[in-house]
Each structure stands twice: as structure tokens, then as C-alpha cells.
Amino acid sequence: MNDNDVQAPADNTRSLEKEIVQDLRGSTYGDYLQLETLLSAQQPVSGHHDEMLFIIQHQTTELWLKLLIHELKSACEHIGRDDLRPALKRLARVKHIQKQLVEQWSVLATLTPAEYSQFRGELGEASGFQSAQYRELEFLLGNKNAAMIKVFDHHPENQRVLRETLEAPSLYDVVLRYLARRGYAIPRELLERDVTVAHTHNDALVQVFKTVYEHPDDHWDVYETCEELVDIEDTFQTWRFRHFRTVERIIGFKRGTGGSSGVPFLKRALDLTFFPELYTVRTEVGE
């Protein structure tokens, strides 16, 4: 028998190697990751078993949202400096994080209506509608809506960050400005638009993308960037879809704790689009 043979040890226990550090007085795993802070932040208020799932589902989502925002802001900065390659790397990462968030809905879907109803009353008027990071992400991606900032009246710091993001160009604005610098015929009204409101469909922009999509080999990095944006919108819509379907199976058509109609309100979010011309161009290709 040599060392490479795969065989369980007789006592089915792995012996420790003598080099493994065990005398830990310096920085450890737990210190570095601030696990005492992180793992003391789950405090169910109802005493019901399933509330832990509800809290952790939200907290892990907020952690991933934090990374999404970090990566997207950095991607925008790189594009602003005409440095497309690192931006594409970040956008690829964004897509994988989004996929985690989409998959995560299946964990919450194990929460039944009876289980949720045991602690829903404890939530008062709290709602995901009041997630500042979610709103920041939507603004970064171009779903600008100043009215969304009102629910943060009680939290000046959230409000400051959201105003700042509202007033900054979105990912799409940044990409279109970059394309203009590269000589693409981006309509002037888009380059000079009021970035505090959502972008709306522009026919002339479709023609720019038509050239790119009909001759990808001549515009490869732009084509790749556009497809990254489409992936991001596609996965974002899948997240919205899984949210409303999961909500529907848990609370049916009850009104939301945040005061909305509930499922009908969530369903209408699916009508919103970040990069509309990247979808309409598909009708034009080959025509």
C-alpha cells in the first residue's frame, strides 16, 4: 500500500499534523471575521423555531447585497477610466453573486404559511421595502426613483447614501458615456440626461447596438460588455420573480407589512427594465 491509496483509517479519525497551529494568542479566524459581532446578531423575538431561518435568510441577502454594491461601484469606476477588463471581471462576479441570491429562495420556501403566521405579527410594519442596500443596488443599476427615499426619513445616513447614488450616473449611463468616447453614435440626449430619473427606451440607441450585435467580431469587447449587462438584468428579474412566487406561497394575497397590496405590487416590479435597448435590439438583428 502506498500513501496515495484511498482507505479510511482504522479508527475513522484524521490525525492532526504536528505543524498545525494550536497556540492561538494572535489574530484568529474568529477575530479576523468578527464572528462574535456577526453571530450575535440573530435575535428572534417570537421564540418560534422558524424565525431563525427568516432572520438568517435576510441577513445573508444583505451581506451579498453589500458585495454586489462594492463590485458594481468598482466596475463603474473602471469603465469611467476606460479600463474595461477589470470592469468585466467584476461584472462576472456580480452575476455569480446574483445566482446565489436566486438559489437562496428555495431555503425560505421551506417556510410554510402556518409557520410564518406564528411570528409575522411580531414584524410590525417592517418590510424588505425598507432595505437601503436593495434600493441602492436598484439605483446603481438604473431603476432610479426619488420617491423610494422617503421611507428612510428616520435614517439620515441611509438617506444620504441613497441621494448620492440617485445623483450619480448608473451603470448604463457609465457604459453609454464610455461608448461615446470610443466613437459610437450615442444620442446626445442620453449623454446629457437627468441621471436622477430612470432611463427610458431610445430608438437611436437600438441602432448602435444593432451594429454591435450584427458584427460581434468587429466590436468584441463591447459585445461582451453588453451581454454581461443582459445577464445581470436577466438574473435580477429572476430574483424578483422568485421573491413574488415565494411570497405568494407563504402569504397568498394578504397585504404586505410595509403597507402595499403584496403580491400584485411585487409582480409589477417585473415590468421594470434596466437596459431596454439591449432587449429590443434582438428584434432588429438580421432584419
Ligand X SMILES: N[C@@H](CC(=O)c1ccccc1NC=O)C(=O)O
Given 72, 78, 116, 274, the residue binding ligand HEM (CB under 6 A): 116
Contact 243, 168 (CB under 8 A): no
Contact 286, 214 (CB under 8 A): yes
Contact 28, 21 (CB under 8 A): no
Residue 113 binds to ligand HEM (criterion: CB under 6 A): no
Cell of 9: 483509517
Residue 58 binds to ligand X (criterion: CB under 6 A): yes
- In whole angstroms, the minimum distance from the beta carbon of 131 to ligand X comes to 8
Interacting partner of 123 out of ligand HEM, ligand X, none (Cβ under 5 to 8 A depending on kind):
ligand X
Is residue 239 classed as helix, strand or coil in its secondary structure?
Answer: helix
- In whole angstroms, the minimum distance from the beta carbon of 108 to ligand X comes to 9
The residue with cell 439591449 is 278
Contact 84, 221 (CB under 8 A): yes
127-135, 163-171, 186-194, 225-233 -> range binding ligand HEM (CB under 6 A): 127-135
Task: Give the angle subtended at the CA of 80 by the CAs of 77 and 81, to the nearest 5°.
Answer: 95
DSSP classification of residue 265: H
Residue 258 binds to ligand HEM (criterion: CB under 6 A): yes
Contact flags string 232-271 toward ligand X, x per CB under 6 A = -------------------x----xxx-------------
Helix axes 132-141, 51-80, angle to 10 degrees: 30
Residue 44 binds to ligand HEM (criterion: CB under 6 A): no
Inter-CA distances, 263 with 148, 195, 220, 268, Å: 18, 30, 41, 9
- In whole angstroms, the minimum distance from the beta carbon of 243 to ligand HEM comes to 6
Interacting partner of 108 out of ligand X, ligand HEM, none (Cβ under 5 to 8 A depending on kind):
ligand HEM
The answer to whether 116 is annotated as binding is: yes
Span 50-109, contacts to ligand HEM by CB under 6 A: 57-58, 61, 108
Task: Give the angle subtended at the CA of 267 by the CAs of 266 and 273, to the nearest 5°.
Answer: 95
The answer to whether 268 is annotated as binding is: no
Helices and strands: H and E segment counts in the chain: 13, 0
Measured CA to CA, the distance from residue 199 to residue 146 in angstroms comes to: 13
Span 98-137, contacts to ligand X by CB under 6 A: 120, 123, 126-128
Interacting partner of 260 out of ligand HEM, ligand X, none (Cβ under 5 to 8 A depending on kind):
ligand HEM
Is residue 157 classed as helix, strand or coil in its secondary structure?
Answer: helix
The answer to whether 219 is annotated as binding is: no
| Residues contributing to the site for ligand HEM (CB under 6 A) | 57-58, 61, 108, 111, 116, 127-129, 131, 134, 243, 247, 250-251, 256-260, 262, 265-266, 269
| Residues contributing to the site for ligand X (CB under 6 A) | 58, 120, 123, 126-128, 251, 256-258
Q: What residue numbers does the annotated binding site for substrate cover?
A: 54-58, 116, 120, 257
